[in-house]
């Protein structure tokens, strides 16, 4: 009887670790600052057949968050970002959603903006 109690007590912290907001990179509503900016400003704009808000609420949001984070951090050129996203979401780089997203990159008020002028 003591063995079961000790075993259960030892597994309890492990069970809760998987439930924390930081247990996966896309489980928290607080993404990368750039993705947060995109989520706030572009949520109702369409990318293909879905809005940005619908993409971020879908189980298949990992690709969007990953590629958009890389774009926002300067790891992807705009042309490469647009090509990858247009292919994934079956639309053109001129989609209103992509226009909205790319405009957010140069908005100076999101925290950690690598393009913000430093005094």
CA gap 51, 117 in Å, rounded? 31
The CA distance from 117 to 6, in Å, is 56
Is residue 86 domain-resident? yes
Domain limits at 57? 25-104
How far, in Å, are 14, 23, 42, 49, 115 from residue 74 at the CA level?
A: 36, 26, 19, 27, 9
Render the burial of 4-21: b for 16+ CB within 10 Å, e for the rest: eeeeeeeeeeeeeeeeee
Structure confidence by residue, pLDDT tens digits, 60-71: 899 999 999 999
Structure confidence at residue 30 (pLDDT): 53
- Our count of domains for the chain comes to 1
Q: Which tokens is 22 given?
A: 């930081």
Is 14 a domain residue? no
* 17 domain-assigned: no
Q: Tell which residue, 54, 78, 77, 64, has the closest CA to residue 32.
A: 64
Return per-residue pLDDT of the chain as tens, 119 residues.
Answer: 554 554 444 444 434 333 333 333 433 445 788 999 999 999 999 999 999 999 999 998 999 999 999 999 889 999 999 999 999 999 999 999 999 999 998 776 555 555 555 44
What's the pLDDT score for residue 33? 87
Instruction: State how far the Cα of 87 lies from the Cα of 34, in Å rounded to an integer.
Output: 22
In a domain? residue 92: yes
Which residue, 44, 45, 48, 88, is CA-closest to 65?
A: 88
């Amino acid at each position: 009887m003591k063995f079961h109690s000790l075993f259960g007590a030892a597994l309890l912290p492990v069970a809760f670790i998987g439930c924390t907001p930081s247990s996966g990179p896309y489980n928290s509503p607080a993404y990368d600052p750039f993705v947060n900016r995109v989520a706030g400003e572009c949520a109702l704009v369409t990318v293909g057949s879905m809005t940005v808000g619908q993409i971020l609420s879908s189980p298949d949001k990992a690709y969007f968050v990953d590629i958009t984070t890389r774009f926002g951090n300067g790891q992807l050129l705009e042309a490469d970002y647009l090509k990858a996203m247009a292919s994934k979401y079956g639309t053109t780089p001129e989609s209103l959603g992509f226009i909205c997203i790319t405009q957010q990159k140069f908005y100076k008020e999101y925290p950690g903006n690598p393009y913000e002028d430093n005094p």
